[in-house]
Structure 1
Amino acid sequence: MTNHYYQTNPTSSHEILKWSFELFDKNFQFITDSGVFSKNTIDYGSRVLIQAFSWEKLPEGSILEVGCGYGPIGLAIAYASGRQVEMTDVNERAVSLAKQNANQNQIENVDIHLSDVYDSVYKKDYAAILSNPPIRAGKKVVHQIIEEGYQYLLSAGTLTIVIQKKQGAPSAQKKMTEIFGNAEVIKKDKGYYIIQSEKRGSQ
């Protein structure tokens, strides 16, 4: 049986890996496993998103990461920003690993739990939503993250995604413009696009 990282309960045999990676000024220690996305190192797209995302001008409030995997984006942003970060994934194994990684890196300002996109998120007033969307799950899921994200953001909150040009960045940018009225490519790096929309106007 083929296992995908966007499945709820991967059945592939465990293959625990432990490695470190420097993000901001911290040497993070990560535990990963089979059945999760990019288990051997932090994928390049996630690194570009972490570097490009800015929280300084956001409204007060917490940040939501949709599709957190074993946690590198959300944990790095929680560490650097000091904001509360809610991290969700549909993959039970990924959520378990993200919790372990939060504990071993002593990052407490996070709330990590299962959710299929926005089904089980806790609030509707996030300052920002971040996602390295599961491209292999299909365009429908990517567009769901974009379309439904709008209602979960504060006014002046942002939705930021990373997506490769060849895997649908132009389509995603078009959908973000349709939903938000704006979508800016804030960074391009090796074919990866960081696209950001801002919720403008009243709630």
Structure 2
Amino acid sequence: MTNHYYQTNPESAHEIKKWSFELLGKSFQFTTDSGVFSKNTVDYGSRVLLQAFSWEKLPQGKILEIGCGYGPIGLAVAYASNRQVEMTDVNERAVDLAERNAVKNQIENVDIHLSDIYTDVHEKEYAAILSNPPIRAGKKVVHQIIEEGYYYLQEVGTLTIVVQKKQGAPSAQKKMEEVFGNAAVIKKDKGYYIIQSEKRGRK
């Protein structure tokens, strides 16, 4: 059976790995497994997203990460910003690993749980939404993260995603422009585009 990291319950045999990686000034200890995205190292797109994302000027409120995997983005942001970060994924194995990695790295200001995109998120509005979207799940999923994200942001807030140019960054930027009225490429690195839209009051 083919298993994808964006499935709810991967059935691939477990292959536990443990390794460390420095993100935003902290050396994180990660446990990963088969059936999750980028199990051998923090993928380059996530690293570029973390370098580009700024929380200092955000309004008060939680940050939401859609598609957290085993946790590198959300845990690093929670550590560096001291903000509450809600981390969700559709993959049960990934959520279990993210919870374990939060405990291992003593990151307590996180809320990690299962959710199919926004279906089971815990708040009505967030100061920011982050995502390294599951491109292999298809453009429809990426566009849903963008379209519905608008309504889960506070009156002033940001949606920030990372997409490779060859995997549809121009299409994602166009969709973000349609939904938000703005979409800036705030960083480019090795073909990865960090695209950010700002919500500026209600439509």
Quickly name the TM-score band, shorter chain normalised: over 0.9
Would you say how many aligned residue pairs link Structure 1 and Structure 2?
203
TM-score, normalising length: structure 1: 0.99
Counterpart-to-counterpart distance in 2, 1:94 and 1:201:
34
Match of residue 60 from structure 2: 60
Question: Helix, strand or coil for the counterpart of 1:12?
Answer: coil
Q: Which runs of 4+ in 1 moved over 6 A?
A: none
Counterpart-to-counterpart distance in 2, 1:26 and 1:189:
22
Equivalent AA in structure 1 for residue 45 of structure 2: G
Structure 1 segments unaligned to the other structure (5+ residues): none
Q: Is the 8 A contact 2:177 2:197 kept in 1?
A: yes
State the Cα distance separating 1:25 from its structure 2 match: 1.6
Question: Helix, strand or coil for the counterpart of 1:199?
Answer: strand
Counterpart-to-counterpart distance in 2, 1:92 and 1:125:
24
Match of residue 126 from structure 1: 126
Match of residue 37 from structure 2: 37
Counterpart-to-counterpart distance in 2, 1:200 and 1:127:
12
- Summarize the alignment of residues 117-196 of structure 1 with structure 2, pairs less than 5 Å apart: 117-196=117-196
Identity of aligned residues (%): 83
Q: Is the 8 A contact 2:62 2:83 kept in 1?
A: yes
Question: Helix, strand or coil for the counterpart of 1:49?
Answer: helix
Structure 2 segments unaligned to the other structure (5+ residues): none
Match of residue 72 from structure 2: 72
State the Cα distance separating 1:124 from its structure 2 match: 1.6
Equivalent AA in structure 2 for residue 167 of structure 1: Q
Spell out, residue by residue over 1:22-73, the C-alpha distance to the aligned partner (whole angstroms, 9 max, x if none). 1122110000000000000000000000110000000100100000000000
State the Cα distance separating 1:98 from its structure 2 match: 0.1
Question: Helix, strand or coil for the counterpart of 2:22?
Answer: strand
Q: Calculate the aligned-residue CA RMSD, in Å.
A: 0.7
State the Cα distance separating 1:202 from its structure 2 match: 3.1
Match of residue 110 from structure 1: 110
TM-score, normalising length: structure 2: 0.99
Counterpart-to-counterpart distance in 1, 2:24 and 2:154:
27
